[in-house]
Amino acid sequence: MQKFKIIKQKEDCVLLMQIKKSNIVKYMIKDIEGDIVYMNFDNLKGAEEFFRKYNLEAIRAQKKKIFEDWLKEFAEA
């Protein structure tokens, strides 16, 4: 198994790089909850932009709102 190289890291996620066969570069962002939140090939600028903007607390708030909306529509007490 080929390991990833850490490009950048912050409190809630890490930007990783992996050289694939034929010199294709894979970029991936993984958060501290274990989710792969971004992936692309040969586009470091795009990966860095997503990494810069990523905020786990904002994602958690969005997931909570989606869950609460789902409960209102599909569940009753």
Domain count for the chain: 1
Of residues 74 and 21, more confidently modeled: 74
Tens-digit pLDDT profile for residues 22-58? 889 999 999 999 999 999 999 999 999 999 999 999 9
Tens-digit pLDDT profile for residues 54-76? 999 999 999 999 999 999 999 99
The boundaries of the domain holding residue 51 are: 5-74
HSE-CB of 67 using CA atoms within 13 angstroms: 6
Q: Which helix (H) or strand (E) holds 56?
A: helix 56-74
Q: Does residue 1 carry a pLDDT above 80?
A: no
DSSP one-letter code for 34? S
Q: How many CB atoms lie within 10 A of CB 29?
A: 21
Residues 25 and 17 sit within 8 Å (Cβ to Cβ) = yes
pLDDT, residue 40, reads: 97
